[in-house]
Structure 1
Amino acid sequence: MATRVVPPRIFKNLRYKTTTTKTLNSSHPSAAAAVTSTVDLTPPPPPPSSHPLSSLDLNNAERLFSAVPTSTLVRSTAVLHATAVGPMVDVGIWAMKSKLFQMGIMKDAVMAVTKKTFYEHFCAGEDTVAAGRSIRTVNNAGLRGMLVYGVEDAHDNESCDRNFDGFLHTVDVSRSLPPNSVSFVIVKITAICPMALLERISDLLRWQEKEPSLKLAWKQDCLPIFSESSPLYHTQKRPEPLTSEEENDLELANERLQKLCEKCVESNMPLLVDAEHTSVQPAIDYFTYSSAIIHNKDDNPIVFGTIQTYLKDAKERLLLATKAADNIGIPMGFKLVRGAYMSTENTLAHSFGYPSPIHATIQDTHNCFNDCSSFLLQKIANGPGSLVLATHNIQSGKLAAAKAYEIGIGKVNHKLEFAQLCGMADALSFGLSNAGFRVSKYMPFGPVEMVMPYLLRRAEENRGLLSASGFDRQLIRKELGRRLKAAIF
């Protein structure tokens, strides 16, 4: 996921809260943005000055953007306002996907426009040198970076090996940057294990859940992957066992992940495994949990898994996994997100004649995220483990911050990290940072073509006047207006 993420000194504190109750299963693209972080631009009342969170200032645009050059604010507002115009986003997405624009001069033109707009706003650079500069810029502004080599799906071992080298190099780059400026290295299992194999492993794991007598000789010790409410409709009939070739590919994929984990252990650099759509998520959870059992020691989780709380079974699976980890004495790290594959999930479930695995309303998703957040905050306050709260939702951020102070982990930085995507919810990022929390930006890097799938998802998430970027747009307009008046008068 490329040339400079968050505008050079990004913005600071944000604050929009969500009360919209659109149906999540809507086919309208704007619903996807609502899942990630729906917005009600009515600012919540500030806490009393005596409250520890009184420093969570999300209103003062001048203070929030004091370190951001006017040129950067202008570019940011242009990109965010463009993505708020639905028809413009539709045209842009069509152009980026269309085969007509994937050759010759047209391709060069599309890539050039994309690079100067979406790419520079949402990504960290084309290579590790540029990504390093972006990390330093973000760090100088008080935030940290999650370094993300922006490759996604692989389909053969040659691609997996090439991607694996990229992830290893990312760890080396992280070590070379200022101490604590990189909070996590991100890995996508879909990039180091062929997609077809992940689908086969997921099928076999689902069938074993249906039929516990099924023996999987290749399966290592693992935490629970499914709950009683988990969707199993993807696997309609008993899968064939893995072939000898598939078992060999599985061994190679596992070796890649273990080597990456070992390098992260040596570097004391947490490794966060990204989540994907449910057709391959069981295999990803299997890789994640089996690796966590091996590498997570004492109170220092190295391998972090991701829970997508827009899924109906998210909380139940989280409870089962944490209970099992406690029983065997494994400290777990989790990242909570709302989710980014709503359209894919709805379409797939419909094709099988099943209800969507995603919560029926936006509010249900908010409730699930907040419930899981509260549970994990309480858990890490009383024992081992760590938590990353990846949210663009102001209310969720405020609730979690208040809970953290309430139970006494507000300043225990190694236990809790807030996170937002590069180029999104920057005001919230700075508000939480100013209030004393560790905050990271998810910073993908790589050539424009490599990160195109990531950019397409960001374009979808920001579309519509009530998208996740709504509050940032409002604050930037306010600050630009203030600077213009100051320049004139």
Structure 2
Amino acid sequence: MRVLGFLAPEASWRAVPEQGMSRWRLASVVRQCAFSPLGVNQAFLQVPRLAAIHVPSTQLTTTCVLLRAEPQPVEELLHSDDFVRPPKPAKKPFVPLNFDDPQEAFRFKSTGQILRSLGVFSACQIRPLVQHADSLLDWSKKLVGARLVNAIVRRTCFRHFCAGEDQESIRPCLRTLHENGIGGILDYAAEDDVDSEDGPVSRSAPNDTVVARTYDYNTEAACDRHMRIFLRSIEAAADAPGQGFAAIKVTALGNPKLLERVSNGLLSIRNLFMQFDKDANNVITREEFAEVYEALFTDSSAPRIEKLFRYLDRDHTGYIDYLSWSRRIKLQDVPNIIKNCRAPGPLYLNALTEEELRLLDNMMRRLYTLAEAAAQANVRLMVDAEHSYFQPAIDHAAIELQRKLNKQQPIILNTYQCYLKDSYDRLVLDMDRAKREGFKFGAKVVRGAYMHLETERALEKGYPSPIWPSITDTHNNFNRCMEAVIQRSQTEGAEVMIASHNQTSIERAVATLYELDMEPGSSGVFFGQLLGMADHLTFILGRNGYRAYKYVPFGPVEEVMPYLIRRAQENSGLMGGVGKEKGMLGRELWRRVTQDSAPARLFTRARQPQPQA
């Protein structure tokens, strides 16, 4: 027997029995093969005189191998009229989703909720109020008491942006989302009030994205406390209906100064690769390696160089690419490598000390604890992006987690901020790494959260800005990154969370799914927006079968207050998107007042002409 091809479960082929085999006998063979305890392929191998076979897709649970008898030419059988795959059903025409219908978008909201949303969005437009919100709250508490202030906040901003104070009180919000086809990305949003002594406090700039929360860092004990907070989010996500998501932030689990040192060390390893790659073609040949190694290191005997080259050539290709290089050379190896440097260089200066390596191990221990808890609960864990000078360390940590936890499915999703010039190249490199090493890739793509801070720091430090120079460049890069991961989702089982409030990007993603024949409800493509924002996008996506999610913060009002202030500050610069949503809310409120209210219905009936006698 010789293999002709493969028969997928959704396929259907017509049968070609050989001479002497009746169609009744062929049908019997089909049944035996389809339900054989040996498995379909093994059962087929035991069937004599079989040229081709027809198995209805309903009888298949796995891919079948299609065989033929030896004497008959393959070409004759393939081109036979009896051996024809049925035509593919005509593709349904693409119908764009309507995100501009206020009645449909906000039908889940009560009129009171619409009024509250309008009030919150209007307050976010008053910049002096937002910029000094923390001072005003402190002053108000002194004037009228914390209890009254917290009660007002609980009934306004808190109810708009947060789901509740604990795992029990968030259930109604999660139930409403679930009834509309929407899942929740759970985040215990209580922000630590420890003053930062070891690192900068991150402040996100206004942008169109699901913005990451920030923590202050003080001690290792604080990092352990943050880990326990994240575990609450994972537990809450596991209890939520549907596929659960939780978000974590690496600067909450390790010293920000350590993260910057780790990032510099990783960049030095990358720059050393570029130094060896003399012709800049992204691979190091044996000759290049020998020449540069002899110039940089003292232990440069020919046997030593050959041994190192073979070690770094992980896939035995005869050259070293960056994936092999970065897999072989670890931060823990650098202290030994620099012992043989002819002169101190960047690698030497950025080598981590024993204390720093110990702190790094502690941070990775916390991350592994969270990742394993998420895997056991079947919760997707998203690693938030942060400042560009922390990002190499965060990427490194996320990749290590993916190697361990993403073998069967993408439990860990790393975040890529597409306003960074290098984001697309890093994304493609990480997807290629996952494919080569045999784990599932997961990503969240956002535009970015720290634009102003990144620009100011670049000016202060005197290096080129890592940010794209224009919003158009950022949009184009976001779309390119988004489409690249969607394609890998189709071919390699990757998963991507498209975290954006930009309607054009959402529409483009929906069109891409259609073009690639990917089912909205079963693909590895998710859509995410903040709770209390972009409801006209999330609810329309959810009701139409797309895998839509809301970023759902929860926690005690007093502890969540810093989060609410920051959310209001971010929204004050998001009036491009929020302005449209506010207008839609106003139109829906007017429609209800003029058409759906009892006085409006009475007035409408009173004006109807009486029938003529």
TM range (shorter): 0.7 to 0.9
Output the amino acid matched with 1:356.
S
Contact kept? 1:155, 1:195, Cα under 8 Å = no
In structure 2, distance between residues paired with 1:384 and 1:293: 15
State the Cα deviation string for residues 386-432 of structure 1 (Å, max 9, x = none): 11111101110001001101101133535111110111111011122
Change (3 A) 1:79 1:52: same
Contact kept? 1:124, 1:134, Cα under 8 Å = yes
In structure 1, the residue matched to 2:382 is 272
In structure 1, distance between residues paired with 2:513 and 2:266: 36
Contact kept? 1:306, 1:337, Cα under 8 Å = yes
Change (3 A) 1:240 1:324: closer
In structure 2, the residue matched to 1:62 is 103
Change (3 A) 1:79 1:246: same
- TM alignment of 1:367-382, pairs within 5 A: 367-382=476-491
In structure 2, the residue matched to 1:10 is none
Question: Radius of gyration: which is bigger?
Answer: 2
Change (3 A) 1:217 1:57: closer
State the Cα deviation string for residues 224-268 of structure 1 (Å, max 9, x = none): xxxxxxxxxxx9996454333332222121111112111222122
SS for the counterpart of 1:53 is: coil
In structure 2, distance between residues paired with 1:183 and 1:146: 7
State the Cα deviation string for residues 444-463 of structure 1 (Å, max 9, x = none): 22234544554344323322
Gaps of 5+ in 1: 1-49, 221-234
SS for the counterpart of 2:537 is: helix
Structure with greater contact order relative to length (CA < 8 Å, sep ≥ 6): 1
In structure 2, the residue matched to 1:43 is none
Check if 1:311 corresponds to 2:420.
yes
Check if 1:177 corresponds to 2:240.
yes
Check if 1:361 corresponds to 2:470.
yes
Cα deviation, residue 469, structure 1: 0.8
In structure 2, the residue matched to 1:295 is 405
Cα deviation, residue 287, structure 1: 0.7
Contact kept? 1:332, 1:386, Cα under 8 Å = yes
Contact kept? 1:420, 1:440, Cα under 8 Å = yes
In structure 1, the residue matched to 2:269 is 208
In structure 2, distance between residues paired with 1:313 and 1:450: 36
Contact kept? 2:331, 2:352, Cα under 8 Å = no
In structure 1, distance between residues paired with 2:225 and 2:504: 41
- TM alignment of 1:28-427, pairs within 5 A: 51-54=93-96, 56-92=97-133, 95=136, 101=139, 104-105=142-143, 108=146, 113-150=152-189, 151=191, 152-153=214-215, 154-178=217-241, 180=242, 182-212=243-273, 216-218=330-332, 239=349, 241-298=351-408, 300-427=409-536
Change (3 A) 1:465 1:143: closer
Cα deviation, residue 371, structure 1: 0.9
Check if 1:447 corresponds to 2:553.
no
Contact kept? 1:345, 1:356, Cα under 8 Å = yes
SS for the counterpart of 1:204 is: helix
Contact kept? 2:141, 2:149, Cα under 8 Å = no
Cα deviation, residue 296, structure 1: 0.6
Cα deviation, residue 102, structure 1: 9.7
In structure 2, distance between residues paired with 1:74 and 1:85: 17
Change (3 A) 1:368 1:457: farther
Cα deviation, residue 74, structure 1: 0.5
Change (3 A) 1:69 1:412: closer
Cα deviation, residue 158, structure 1: 0.7
After TM superposition, the score normalised by the length of structure 2 is 0.64
Contact kept? 1:203, 1:239, Cα under 8 Å = no
Higher mean alpha-carbon deviation, 331-340 vs 139-148, is at: 139-148
In structure 1, the residue matched to 2:292 is none
Contact kept? 1:168, 1:260, Cα under 8 Å = yes
Contact kept? 2:188, 2:229, Cα under 8 Å = yes
Report the identity percentage: 35
Contact kept? 2:264, 2:350, Cα under 8 Å = no
In structure 2, distance between residues paired with 1:455 and 1:277: 21
Contact kept? 1:121, 1:422, Cα under 8 Å = yes
Cα deviation, residue 88, structure 1: 3.5
In structure 2, distance between residues paired with 1:467 and 1:118: 20
Change (3 A) 1:484 1:421: same
In structure 1, distance between residues paired with 2:503 and 2:492: 27
Change (3 A) 1:313 1:240: closer
After TM superposition, the score normalised by the length of structure 1 is 0.79
In structure 2, distance between residues paired with 1:95 and 1:237: 49
In structure 2, distance between residues paired with 1:103 and 1:239: 50
State the Cα deviation string for residues 140-188 of structure 1 (Å, max 9, x = none): 232110001224423321111111112223222222333x1x5311111
State the Cα deviation string for residues 188-243 of structure 1 (Å, max 9, x = none): 111122223222212222233333589654379xxxxxxxxxxxxxx999645433
SS for the counterpart of 1:211 is: helix
Output the amino acid matched with 1:53.
V
Contact kept? 1:84, 1:465, Cα under 8 Å = no
Output the amino acid matched with 1:196.
K
Change (3 A) 1:171 1:362: same
In structure 2, distance between residues paired with 1:84 and 1:361: 24
State the Cα deviation string for residues 64-98 of structure 1 (Å, max 9, x = none): 222211111100011012212334333436646xx
In structure 1, distance between residues paired with 2:569 and 2:187: 20
Higher mean alpha-carbon deviation, 464-473 vs 363-372, is at: 464-473
Cα deviation, residue 104, structure 1: 4.4
In structure 1, distance between residues paired with 2:450 and 2:560: 16
In structure 1, distance between residues paired with 2:391 and 2:149: 33
In structure 2, distance between residues paired with 1:293 and 1:130: 36
Cα deviation, residue 114, structure 1: 4.4
Contact kept? 1:418, 1:439, Cα under 8 Å = yes
Contact kept? 2:331, 2:351, Cα under 8 Å = no
Contact kept? 2:265, 2:331, Cα under 8 Å = no
Change (3 A) 1:355 1:171: same
Contact kept? 2:490, 2:523, Cα under 8 Å = no
State the Cα deviation string for residues 104-154 of structure 1 (Å, max 9, x = none): 457837655544433322222232223333222322232110001224423
In structure 1, the residue matched to 2:194 is none
Change (3 A) 1:165 1:281: same
Contact kept? 1:185, 1:271, Cα under 8 Å = yes
